[in-house]
């Protein structure tokens, strides 16, 4: 399993949990952080969503 990675793109935040999701960079997503656990990644995603009014997605 890949390390949970947080990506952002135009009003959206995405928590990538699979290795294949790391290809999101090619689609214009910007990686902003990597986490040791999915729980920490989701907490960070909620912070971004609340602070910047982003929509949370995960894979």
Considering only CA atoms, which of 26, 2, 33 is closest in space to residue 14?
A: 33
CA 27, CA 53: separation in Å to the nearest integer? 21
pLDDT of residue 20: 82
Q: Would you kindly state where each structural domain of the chain is located, as residue ranges?
A: 5-58
pLDDT of residue 19: 80
Q: pTM for the full model?
A: 0.87
Strands (E) across 1-59 are located at 5-9, 12-16, 30-34, 55-58
pLDDT of residue 49: 97
pLDDT of residue 21: 82
What is the chain's pLDDT, residue by residue, as a tens digit (59 residues)?
Answer: 578 999 999 999 999 998 888 789 999 999 999 999 999 999 999 999 999 999 999 98
């Amino acid at each position: 399993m890949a390390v949970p990675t947080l990506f952002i793109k135009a009003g959206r935040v995405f928590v990538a949990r699979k290795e294949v999701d790391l290809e999101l960079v090619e689609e214009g997503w910007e990686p902003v952080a990597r986490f040791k656990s999915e729980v920490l990644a989701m907490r960070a995603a909620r912070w971004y969503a609340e602070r910047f009014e982003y929509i949370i997605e995960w894979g």
